[in-house]
């Protein structure tokens, strides 16, 4: 198979190229610039991203027809607001697309405009929002979940799907490394600000909140909102989402653990740790999500600690997992499960 990547120079795009270049079912990875990058001099991957020294691959001009003729699927690893301007021809042709941006995650265009402060995409109903560990894509256009949303929803799915929590009690304290902010410069991610520091940001305003609530409401319409906070960690990669919720009457720790085991049995990328708490280094470089589970019967509070690598499970790795599911390949093909020392 041949696949294309639009947006390879970003952190998620770089990780996606690394995974797809080693994928057993992928014969060739073709790289493309954005729609406005086709008239200048040819750009090459190793010149744009020195980490890929020796991979002297051109970033071809964006042309939807040419791309569909040369590839079996295309990945968009672009910023929000970009994909919505490019996706039309692919949707009209029902061509396989895995979209890592946020442009097609929300079903309500008004919600997108409110949270992303951009013009919403058209043809939103052509996309399927797909957590890769909880089902297979239902359309050829796959909206890959956000990193915070992935960690949070995987931690909440067993509780909400089994109706074990009080709908108005969900609190999420989520923390991420600086790569989650992307390559765009900001004072928040300057070394002097981020190093030896913790910074709360986008309080009650993070763009992953509406996609989390959207999915939770599909599982339980009684859930109207959640309390969600994000903190920047002085590390490069990794997310830890600490989730709290009040249990329904009569809940026991055994019933909580059983819900997780039932939900995630035979799921190779989910690591359940009842009675233990995972740390971020356990998942760096992998497509895994490690879940620590605890229930305090004194306060009737469930606590779940969900950790992922934001660039792999939270972006490129989940995109490849969705690609595998879409093409009915082995789910684990091309995806790492052993952590790296970083």
Which residues are known catalytic residues?
A: 147
Mutual angle of helices 147-161 and 253-264, in 10-degree steps: 120
Query: Hey, what are 86's tokens?
Result: 């490019």
* Cross-strand pairs, 141: 97, 127
What is the spatial distance between Cα 324 and Cα 136, in angstroms, rounded to a whole number?
9
Task: Tally Cβ neighbours within 10 Å of residue 254.
Answer: 10
Residue 170 neighbours by CB distance under 10 Å:
24
Rounded CA gap, 309 and 257, in Å? 23
Structure tokens at 243: 């989730």
The two three-digit tokens of residue 249, written as one number: 């009457």
Separation of alpha carbons 121 and 107, rounded Å:
10
Please name which of 82, 29, 310, 326 lies closest in space to residue 175, comparing C-alpha atoms. Answer: 310
Using the structure block, give the residue that is written with the tokens 């070394």: 191
Q: Strand pairing of 73-76 and 2-6?
A: parallel
């Amino acid at each position: 198979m041949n696949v294309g990547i639009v947006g390879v120079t970003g952190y998620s795009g770089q990780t996606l190229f690394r995974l797809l270049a080693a994928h057993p079912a992928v014969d060739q990875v073709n790289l493309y610039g954005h729609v406005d990058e086709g008239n200048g001099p040819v750009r090459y991957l190793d010149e744009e991203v020195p980490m890929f020294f020796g991979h002297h691959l051109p970033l071809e001009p964006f042309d939807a027809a040419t791309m569909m003729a040369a590839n079996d699927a295309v990945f968009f690893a672009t910023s929000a607001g970009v994909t919505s301007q490019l996706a039309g021809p692919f949707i009209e042709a029902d061509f396989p697309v895995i979209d890592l941006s946020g442009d097609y995650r929300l079903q309500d265009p008004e919600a997108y405009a409110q949270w992303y402060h951009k013009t919403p995409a058209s043809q939103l109903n052509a996309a399927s929002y797909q957590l890769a560990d909880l089902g297979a894509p239902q359309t050829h256009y796959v909206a890959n979940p956000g990193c915070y949303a992935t960690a949070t929803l995987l931690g909440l799915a067993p509780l909400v799907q089994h109706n074990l929590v009080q709908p108005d009690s969900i609190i999420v304290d989520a923390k991420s490394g600086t790569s989650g902010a992307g390559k765009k410069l900001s004072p928040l991610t300057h070394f002097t600000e981020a190093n030896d520091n913790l910074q709360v940001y986008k309080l009650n305003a993070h763009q992953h909140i509406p996609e989390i609530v959207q999915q939770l409401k599909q599982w339980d319409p009684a859930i109207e909102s959640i309390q969600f906070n994000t903190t920047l960690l002085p590390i490069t990669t990794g997310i830890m989402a600490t989730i709290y919720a009040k249990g329904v009457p009569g809940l026991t720790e055994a019933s909580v653990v059983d819900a997780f085991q039932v939900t995630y049995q035979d799921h190779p990328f989910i690591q359940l740790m009842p009675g233990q708490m995972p740390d971020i280094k356990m998942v760096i470089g992998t497509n895994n999500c490690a879940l620590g589970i605890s229930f305090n019967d004194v306060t009737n509070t469930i606590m779940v600690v969900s950790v992922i690598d934001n660039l792999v499970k939270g972006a490129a790795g989940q995109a490849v997992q969705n690609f595998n599911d879409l093409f009915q390949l082995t789910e684990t093909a091309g995806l790492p499960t052993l952590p790296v020392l970083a």
